[in-house]
Chain A
Amino acid sequence: GENVEQHPSTLSVQEGDSAVIKCTYSDSASNYFPWYKQELGKGPQLIIDIRSNVGEKKDQRIAVTLNKTAKHFSLHITETQPEDSAVYFCAASKGRFGAGTRLTVKP
């Protein structure tokens, strides 16, 4: 079955810096790659997604890139703010999630 690996497990950045989280997947048939943000005590919330026919997608300060050949995709957050502090999960098709990245943005 699908295996999704996510790195790093923790990431600490200064406010205003950029943050990058990377994921790899194993099933070449996967064609949908969402990213979720989970705040303390809440369920994960979809923040951005990308499909296999697109290489990059942006939404304000958030962007996702996909390299199907290498089977990896990344989340990029620019101009980070303290409210970006949360746990971020990547996922691939068939409901498989990465282990999560705890992002801390220091004021």
Chain B
Amino acid sequence: NAGVTQTPKFQVLKTGQSMTLQCAQDMNHEYMSWYRQDPGMGLRLIHYSVGAGITDQGEVPNGYNVSRSTTEDFPLRLLSAAPSQTSVYFCASSYQDTYGYTFGSGTRLTVV
């Protein structure tokens, strides 16, 4: 049972480039979400999904897109990377929002 798998683990982008952070879970969880973690600011919610075909914005959605075509996958797209998007990104999944989350191991992104 792999849990939540995030790829890549590390990535360096140039300003203006685009990329997709992958997230997959094998627990048949309906709820999935993306967070960014910056020093001293905890975990901030970017986007979330309560099920396939349904997505919504979190606290800091600007510059990011998501889609949820299957229950298992929830990719996060950076449209035009900016240095302010340098962060560690975590994907999480859960049975529902009001149950504990299982987190992936994170993607460390640097935008230069």
Q: Which residues of A contact B (CB under 8 A)?
A: 1, 6, 9, 31-32, 34, 36, 42-46, 49, 51, 89, 93-100
Which of A9, A43, A96 lies in contact with B103, CB distance below 8 A? A43
In the complex, given contacts A31-B98, A43-B104, A95-B33, what are 16 additional A-B residue pairs having Cβ atoms less than 8 angstroms apart? A32-B98, A36-B103, A43-B90, A43-B92, A44-B101, A44-B103, A46-B101, A49-B100, A89-B43, A93-B97, A95-B97, A96-B45, A97-B44, A99-B40, A99-B41, A100-B42
Give the contact-size bracket for chain B: 20 to 34
Contact present for B105 and A9 (CB under 8 Å): no
Contact present for B103 and A45 (CB under 8 Å): yes
Q: How many A-B residue pairs have CB under 8 A?
A: 55
Contact present for B42 and A43 (CB under 8 Å): no
Question: In whole Å, how far is B37's beta carbon from the nearest beta carbon of chain A?
Answer: 9
